[in-house]
Amino acid sequence: MSRIRTLAATAALAFAVFAAAPALAGEIRFFVTPDSTLNFGAGATAPLAGSLIGNWDAATNPTGTRTVPGIFGGTSTTNTAIPYVAELAAGIDMQKVPTGAFRVLMPTSGALATIEGLNFDLLGGDTAAMGVTIDLTFSTFRTFNPTSLYVGTSALPPIPLASGQVSALRVEQTQPALAGILATPAGTMFAGNVPVELVIEISLLGQPLVSQRIPAELPIAGMVGADGTAPTATIAFKDGFSIPLPEIPAFEDQAIALPTILPPGNTANLLFDGMIDGPSGAFAVSIDLDLSLGGSVVPMDLTGDGSVDGADMGLLLARWGTNDPMCDLDEDGVVGGLDLGMMMGCWTRP
């Protein structure tokens, strides 16, 4: 399996780590803003061979299209399969608005914060259709209803065959990541590389085609204002890679409306059978992601003394089981173990 290149390679994140204690302590919750963009492209080609035949049936579709090989011959009930070879092409070029979030646990002292819970849906909760076409080569044949002549080696434009689908395109954090932090007069800065997996799921002709989890590193940099407001972060990367294709399943009775050649202007309704006739190659993928993130700060220093320590824990325990909004750090309606865990994640470090 081809591995995606380390995404941090194109983003220089050599971040100076200082031992100065930042003024901010707490959990910063970041979310993707609507002005974020994803440009995604993918495609593959493969040789195809099979046959096409009119959709005529004496009992169920007597007015359907019939196919007859050659220029002459055939009867009123002739409907003969015509062999062909082709190149199948599947491709997509789309733009989406991603969604998702992550959080940063900021200590009151020490030089490292923790980034966790990163999960981005690059499709923004949607799916994306992928076009599938074939470029045909065939021997001369005729059709009836409509009446038309298809001369062998005639140049036809690529014919839409079916639709594939990109059903998943996600970035999921695989383990907590440390981030360097720096207190400045303007606010607290942080930066780090987050270990992630890029999850890609693609189907073709109604069958799963690609289902991959590709390890990578995602560079993140951000800042929180000195007063604890207006948290912002940015993530940007651009990369291209390929995924070896598995065996592509054969298809049967795929309906296609084929434009007539001589005379033009009509449509022959045909059924296609086919299967991959040779190596299926690789699926080429390109991703250009630009994420803008806003957020909010959940302060853990409940006493306001500049440290997250026993005094803050005592205040939280005194409100245990209540819905006190100051101590309900995870905003689930009750002060409990999850809130205590959040506080411990930002505990003052010596």
* DSSP string of 164-204, one letter each residue: EEEEEEEEEE-S-EEEEEEEETTEEEEEEEEEEEEEEEEEE
Mean pLDDT of 142-168: 85
Percent of the chain that is helix, strand, coil (3-state, to 5): 5, 55, 40
With the C-alpha atoms ordered 261, 267, 272, 276, is the resulting torsion angle positive or negative? positive
Q: What is the pLDDT of residues 164-219, one digit of tens each?
A: 899 999 999 999 999 998 888 888 889 999 999 999 999 877 778 889 999 999 99
**223 pairs with which residues across the strands?**
189, 232
Instruction: State residue 349's pLDDT score.
Output: 56
Instruction: State residue 332's pLDDT score.
Output: 84
> Do the Cβ atoms of 137 and 145 come closer than 8 Å?
no
Of 331, 349, 337, 321, nearest to 29 by C-alpha is: 331
Q: What is the pLDDT of residues 205-239, one digit of tens each?
A: 777 888 999 999 999 999 888 766 678 998 988 99
The topology (CATH level 3) of 301-350 is Type 1 dockerin domain (1.10.1330)
Q: What is the mean pLDDT of the chain?
A: 84
DSSP per-residue codes, 198-255? EEEEEEETTEEEEEEEEEEEEEEEEEEETTS---EEEEEEEEEEEEE--PPPPEEEEE
Q: What is the pLDDT of residues 56-90, one digit of tens each?
A: 999 999 999 999 999 887 777 889 999 999 998 88
Instruction: State residue 320's pLDDT score.
Output: 94
Strands 141-144 and 232-244: unpaired
Instruction: State residue 227's pLDDT score.
Output: 67
Environment class of 234 (CB within 10 Å of its CB; exposed 0-12, middle 13-18, buried 19+): middle
- pTM for the full predicted model: 0.75
Instruction: State residue 12's pLDDT score.
Output: 31
pLDDT above 60 (res 22): no
- List the 148-150 sheet strands across, edge first: 66-69, 141-144, 148-150
Q: What is the pLDDT of residues 95-104, one digit of tens each?
A: 999 999 998 9
Mean pLDDT of 24-42: 87
> Do the Cβ atoms of 170 and 212 come closer than 8 Å?
no
Confidence of residue 118 (pLDDT cuts 50, 70, 90): very high
- Domains of the chain, residue spans: 7-299, 301-350
Residue type, 117: G
Confidence of residue 308 (pLDDT cuts 50, 70, 90): confident
pLDDT above 90 (res 144): yes
Contacts with 258 (C-beta within 8 Å, 6 or more apart), sequence order: 52, 156, 159, 267, 268, 269, 270
**Choice between 170 and 249, residue whose per-residue pLDDT is larger:** 170
Of 67, 158, 97, nearest to 289 by C-alpha is: 97
**Residue 11 CB coordination number (10 Å):** 19
Share of the chain above pLDDT 90, in %: 46
Instruction: State residue 2's pLDDT score.
Output: 38
